[in-house]
Structure 1
Amino acid sequence: MKILRTKKLVLHPVFRGGVATLLVTFVLLPVAAVRAEETATDAPVNSESLPELKTLDGHFPFEVPETLEQWESRAEQLRTRVAMATGLHPMLPRPPIKATIHSVVKRDGFQIEKVYFESLPGHFVTGLLFRPTGDSVARGLNSDGKRPGVLCPHGHGGRMMRNNADKMKQLIESGDEMYMESGSHPKLARCATLARMGCVSFIFDMVGYADSVQLSYEFAHRRHATRPEENVPAGSDPELFFSTPAEARLQSILGLQTYNALRSFDFLASLDEVDPDRLAVTGGSGGGTQTILLDALEPRIAASFPNGMVSTSMQGGCACENACLLRIGTGNVELAALMAPKPMGMTAADDWTIEMMSDGYPELKQLYGMMNHPDHVLCESLVQFKHNYNYVTRRIMYGWMNEHLNLGLETPVVETDFPAITDDEGAVWNDDHPAPTQRGPKHEQTVLGWWNNQSQQLLEDCLGLSATENGFDQTVRPALATLFDLPIPETSSVSVSYSDPIEHDSGATLVSGVVTDEARRREIPIRKWVSQSGDKASSGGTVLWVHSAADETTDTPEWSDAFSAQLRQSKAVIVIDIAAMPTDAPEGKQRTNPQPRRASAAFTYGYNRPLAATRCGDVLAVIAAFQDPPGGVSLVAPEGSAAYALPAAAIAGPFLADATIAVNGFRFADLQHQDDQHFVPGIVKYGDVDALAAWRAPYALTIQDSEEAEWPTTKAIYDARDASDQVQWQVNR
């Protein structure tokens, strides 16, 4: 196709930085439209295929912002993302822990006690508590007689993982371990030595390990296939993990495990002898993943050692390490950076962390240097060892905790041997303390039902008729901005390329073209229609008309009566041809990552935006391209496009004169499966289409919907903004 001209739009800084900040103030700043010279180009109208979906084995670099102010803004967004992905935005209740502590097991310099408590009603967390005894008692005390507390997420293998004699001989020969007895329980060895150093340490069971018996290990960590009962509408009661309703509310095994970890931290911090100013966390492998998330969510953590998972490479292979939204546009190194400037140490090994010394650690050093604490981050190269939390790594961790928990011990801190812990000594449940009987799907229903009820209560002042402006802005607005996280990037620009004009039989002029969003490397096909009457009209502006990929009535919308009427009264109608964009997926579906042994939506939506968010970005790019004059265009979205047109209208805010969205009964809650083209993880939790419409307040919006539909959040927020006259409803029968 011969291309005649390209118009380049340079966006005003307010728009380039994203509209979210602008929408909070509701002040429209002047925007200068910049016209560019017309140039010839032979750019393709559309890409023939899409880039591959990102997987957990991709590359996740950490790009350090140029200023601390930029990092602080980025960090706030990331913390919201982590909280949402774990189902903890808003944070679930964390009342005082009522723990049962029983059955002392003694060793030289420390003792072990069995612990269990309910993290939520009916769901038990189990673990072992290590305290100093004998000569160790005098160590680590502050002037108030309190000592540090160190939480130890164990990682895969379980807290009671034991290496047999043959394995121990190999590990001792390779230098991984020092002692045949204590080294056989490497996860317990670090807890014991921390206790001997004067700390109280607590190691709790990951879901499905050791005494965590209510959901099985195979279910939580080795899931192979989807259960038929999981494929129910997104708005159904969230009775099962991995189901469409659970993902629509961001409820996951990772989220449950993170909440258990937070409650375990609460338990440790509540102990009378523990110093609230010297609380630390250290875990390896899957426990390293939990440590990263805890650092992001728990501000009381004073020092951290997330080992074996801070990497720009593989991000965590288990369902318990993945959740929808978690790593879209980010990765473990940047998430770990949320600990800055507090002390954080780790090692690099001959695994997915092997490149950390050149890719990841320098960026962490740069960030900590910007914060004037370059000595608060450490990555020690131990690439002579395979994936581990071995004796050598533990020795580095002991030194780190000694320094940053102010233990005052002689260095180096040396781990010494102790008789291995037997299975009976490590078991929490016994005849006097029987294990809970509720298990399996029934227990899933208990957990998810409580979770959903609590979330609904916490969102009472954010959604529905009782929604307040502050509640909506503080909780729901950041959530929606995270779900549809594609404002115009700060450094982006968009361009418009046109073909030769064609005189249509109707007397209108048709020009095909493409809008190029350079930042996203997306090309959105458009068709510009100008009628004779529209060209002469002074009252009608430019209308952006979404041709929905879900529109099954016609290949093009131009022959509908509604389109013809719109063209007659408008200066020009720009058809955004979403239907022509490639999806590389079956009709009505979106692409998913095929992951053997990983039947979870998290392995797609944890790394990739859902299709609705991508299409929202496409609409935003076209809105940006036709800001001439700024705010002088309107959006019309016929049936089939509400999933992405509503959030685009909200994000665009004052850059649309008005928006008319044909919802026509569409609700995310009605979607049957996570691979539906409109599915967006979390959207049901945060208010569905009603919240998306409220997000546009106070700007002009017309909603076309069925007669019986109610829009309580939209009405409440438009009213709170003193803009109830800016929203209208039209009934489509």
Structure 2
Amino acid sequence: MKMQSVTKARFRSMGRLLTMVSCLILLDVVMEGAAFAQDSTSEIESSAETAVVADQALPELKTLDGHFPFEVPPTLDDWEQRARRLRTRVAMATGLHPMLPRGPVDATIHSPVDRDGFQIEKVYFESIPGHFVTGLLFRPTGENLAKGLNEDGKRPAVLCPHGHGGRMMRNDSDTMNRLIESGDEMHLESGSMPKIARCATLARMGCVSFIFDMVGYADSVQLSHSFANRRHETREEEVVAAGTEPELFFSTAADARLQSIYGLQTYNALRSFDFLASMEDIDLNRLAVTGGSGGGTQTIMLGALEPRVAVSFPNGMVSTSMQGGCACENACLLRIDTGNVELAALMAPKPMGMTAADDWTVDMMHDGYPELRQLYTMLGEPENVLCESLVQFKHNYNYVTRRIMYGWMNEHLRLGLETPIVETDFPALTEEEGAVWNEQHPAPDVRGPDHEQQVLSWWTEQNEKALADGLGEKATLKGFDQNVRPALSILFDWSMSTSSDVSLQLNDPMQHGSGVYWSNGKVVDSTRRREIPIRRWTTGEQGKRNSDEATVLWIQSAEFDPEASVSPEGSAELQSLLQTHGSVVVIDIGAMPTDAAEGKQRINPQPRRASAAFTFGYNRPLVVTRCADVLAVIAAFQQSPGNVTLVAPEGTAAYALPAAALAGPFVDEANVELAGFQFANLFHQDHEHFIPGIVKYGDVDALAAWRAPYALTLSSSVQSDGKSHWPTATAIYKAREAADQLRIQAK
């Protein structure tokens, strides 16, 4: 059997289209379609006989220990576009798109503790109703009061997320003697509490510093340390449908709304920053953040999300290697096609320093830091980024690292102090001196699952309020385009390349019956290294068809069976389409080598950390992969906008709807059979259709609205109360003056 033809369609990437539909108005989408048509080319090549599709090995799932390189975009405009999308990704991954409320912080400050040259005060406030952030506030005293002041008598402030070990972590005398001998530390007393020493020295430099408790540490007692930071197993109570009121962290319901411990901790950090910035004596132009290890991760997040951060020193976590091994450092969506170096780069061109140690940051001097220097140079500020090699030390925020940080803060916070800045000793804090809760200020008594339910219910309520003008019957174009569309484009962001090559390969047609011909083939997406099996059915003389004829693409989700399930006799719908259109291309998604096994997708083996974030924080869900497969086939048959009709039978809506939305004008009409499917009905994160965040951003209703203003027919049931499942789609199609393009066939 000889190959009939090989058609190559080079097209403007759907990743580019995806980017545009997230931020442009309808006119821009239409213009993009015109550009797509102009870019399309085709040529005829000869080739040897092709099989339906060759066996393809499944790629290994990426883990937190993978390689996360930073490739600097070629131009400033490219970086600015990339940075905008990355900030949206970070905000979504932390559950903060749209941002949760950040009103005035009502903090209680009490029980001062005096040391030479600085004072410590205990602080607590509610970041979420009923959820308390606790920490210690450090202020300069005595002769240090004159340091750091600007002409208005205001001083800089430095937020200090502490990292693992907690703010009250204290090394014993044997450890301290070893650290002093190795050069890690200088003072036996103050050096035994290195996180406190950092804050104290910053205060002695004339800064106000605040070290707040990460979730589960010290006085953050409402969720346990082992639960928030380790996650050894899944609780039975977490197995609830994605659309239910979320009651527990790590459940399918919480992940479907992008609610996580990592997000809670990031919000606590932002509210702690708000607390510092609200103080009357603080210079709002000199706000900084520095943390080590897990605190370094939080420093990266603040640099990405908080534009008021003027100076940053994220230590111990800016790396192309291990990205953070704790549940408090991982969130679904966060590091897909990116990593900590690029996320840290969102601070650019503002000053950012760090060190490399004998840990996962050991390669930074040649893998990560050169790219940061390249970016800062392109932005015109090459001296605003620093990475000092301290690979003689293990993972640390030791005295030597702190000394580098003090110099960085002195320079960029414009303190004007003599250098080098040397720590001086002070008596270590006692447990009582460091405790926020006492008899006069008792700790909250709502803890554990009851507290989780309280936090998550508030979180969901705030999400619904923030998205009210983008979802539901009252959805507006402004609300949808501002918050929902960008979110959907991140969820289904399968490619960031600027172009993609797709090859269509078909065997010579063979006769199936009277006037019916079929040919096996495949679409090869070279960018993603995917081969999608197809079968084309045609009627007419020897199966010939004109290249400009419209093509019907029919998604077959069942296992590929050329003699039964994919033949016209095996499907009444396929047979009807063939009789009506004369040509149908079957996309055999079910035959693809995928993550799926018995309706499930692979999950990273993290036996000590039962969290979906360790899979979907680094890997696209299966639904996104299948969506891209459908888009590749659409591209392969696309000669001009509007010559493709997409038909999606039962079981394919999860990926057919977003594919139709992303294809926009390149699909003349999309017909999707829902059969009652809702992402909200899924119970497990390993379900083949699960995708984090989709319930928060409107489920299938929002995906249908995303397709507007192009023709869409939905076959679906009606709720028992007679109301439509499609309030968002109906509202957005109407708002785009395309109400007649949305057809809902009730069943």
Distance 1:2 1:239, change over 3 A: farther
Aligned equivalents of 2:357 and 2:351: distance in 1? 20
Contact 2:13 2:500 in 1 (8 A): no
Distance 1:489 1:544, change over 3 A: farther
What residue in structure 1 maps to residue 465 of structure 2?
457
2:10 counterpart of 1:10: yes
2:608 counterpart of 1:597: yes
1:235-262 deviations in Å (ceiling 9; x for gaps):
0111100001000000000000000000
Contact 2:684 2:690 in 1 (8 A): yes
Distance 1:353 1:507, change over 3 A: same
What residue in structure 2 maps to residue 724 of structure 1?
739
Aligned equivalents of 1:543 and 1:439: distance in 2? 56
Structure 2 residues not aligned, in runs of 5+: none
Contact 1:704 1:730 in 2 (8 A): yes
2:566 counterpart of 1:556: yes
The DSSP-based 3-state class of the residue aligned with 1:17 is helix
What residue in structure 2 maps to residue 150 of structure 1?
158
What residue in structure 2 maps to residue 29 of structure 1?
34
Aligned match of 1:715 in 707, 727, 730?
730
Aligned equivalents of 2:714 and 2:638: distance in 1? 23
The AA in structure 1 aligned to 2:34 is L
Aligned equivalents of 1:389 and 1:52: distance in 2? 34
Aligned equivalents of 2:357 and 2:116: distance in 1? 32
1:187-222 deviations in Å (ceiling 9; x for gaps):
111000000000000000000000000000010012
1:391-427 deviations in Å (ceiling 9; x for gaps):
0000000000000000000011111111111111000
2:30 counterpart of 1:40: no
Contact 1:4 1:41 in 2 (8 A): no
What residue in structure 2 maps to residue 492 of structure 1?
500
1:623 Cα deviation (Å)?
Answer: 0.6
Distance 1:167 1:536, change over 3 A: closer
1:574 Cα deviation (Å)?
Answer: 0.9
The AA in structure 1 aligned to 2:557 is S
What's the % identity of the aligned pairs?
69
1:28-50 deviations in Å (ceiling 9; x for gaps):
41513312131215677244321
Distance 1:282 1:43, change over 3 A: farther
Aligned match of 1:634 in 631, 634, 645?
645
Distance 1:550 1:320, change over 3 A: farther
What residue in structure 1 maps to residue 373 of structure 2?
365
Distance 1:571 1:173, change over 3 A: same
Mean Cα deviation higher: 89-98 or 503-512: 503-512
The DSSP-based 3-state class of the residue aligned with 1:10 is strand
What residue in structure 2 maps to residue 704 of structure 1?
715
1:4 Cα deviation (Å)?
Answer: 4.8
The AA in structure 2 aligned to 1:724 is A
The DSSP-based 3-state class of the residue aligned with 2:357 is strand
The AA in structure 2 aligned to 1:100 is T
2:547 counterpart of 1:547: no
Contact 1:311 1:332 in 2 (8 A): yes
Distance 1:620 1:487, change over 3 A: farther
What is the alpha-carbon root mean square deviation over aligned residues? Answer: 1.9
2:228 counterpart of 1:220: yes
1:297-343 deviations in Å (ceiling 9; x for gaps):
00000000000000000000000000000001100000000000000
2:667 counterpart of 1:659: no
Structure 1 residues not aligned, in runs of 5+: none
Aligned equivalents of 1:16 and 1:592: distance in 2? 25
Distance 1:54 1:683, change over 3 A: same
The DSSP-based 3-state class of the residue aligned with 1:104 is strand
Contact 2:4 2:507 in 1 (8 A): yes
1:676-704 deviations in Å (ceiling 9; x for gaps):
00001000000000000000000000001
1:20 Cα deviation (Å)?
Answer: 4.3
2:279 counterpart of 1:271: yes
Aligned equivalents of 1:503 and 1:43: distance in 2? 18
Q: Which runs of 4+ in 1 moved over 3 A?
A: 1-5, 13-16, 41-44, 533-540, 549-555
What residue in structure 2 maps to residue 324 of structure 1?
332
The DSSP-based 3-state class of the residue aligned with 1:256 is helix
Aligned equivalents of 1:3 and 1:538: distance in 2? 16
Aligned equivalents of 1:653 and 1:456: distance in 2? 27
- TM-score, normalization by structure 2: 0.95
2:260 counterpart of 1:252: yes
The DSSP-based 3-state class of the residue aligned with 1:29 is helix
1:569 Cα deviation (Å)?
Answer: 1.8
Aligned equivalents of 1:19 and 1:613: distance in 2? 13
What residue in structure 2 maps to residue 88 of structure 1?
96
Contact 2:13 2:497 in 1 (8 A): no
Mean Cα deviation higher: 615-624 or 554-563: 554-563
Tell me the number of residue pairs that the alignment of Structure 1 and Structure 2 aligns. Answer: 731
Aligned equivalents of 1:496 and 1:651: distance in 2? 20
The AA in structure 1 aligned to 2:629 is D
The AA in structure 1 aligned to 2:442 is P
The DSSP-based 3-state class of the residue aligned with 1:437 is coil
Contact 1:507 1:532 in 2 (8 A): yes
1:16 Cα deviation (Å)?
Answer: 6.8
What residue in structure 1 maps to residue 139 of structure 2?
131
2:650 counterpart of 1:612: no
Distance 1:136 1:550, change over 3 A: farther
The DSSP-based 3-state class of the residue aligned with 1:141 is coil
What residue in structure 1 maps to residue 85 of structure 2?
77
Distance 1:157 1:2, change over 3 A: farther
Distance 1:584 1:42, change over 3 A: farther
Aligned equivalents of 1:424 and 1:612: distance in 2? 52
The AA in structure 2 aligned to 1:57 is D
The AA in structure 2 aligned to 1:179 is H
1:535 Cα deviation (Å)?
Answer: 5.9
2:66 counterpart of 1:66: no
Contact 2:216 2:224 in 1 (8 A): yes
The AA in structure 2 aligned to 1:594 is P
**Within-5 A mapping of 1:453-532:** 453-486=461-494, 489-532=497-540
1:649-681 deviations in Å (ceiling 9; x for gaps):
000000001100111100000011110000010
Aligned equivalents of 1:488 and 1:386: distance in 2? 36
Aligned match of 1:338 in 346, 367, 387?
346
Aligned equivalents of 1:14 and 1:216: distance in 2? 46
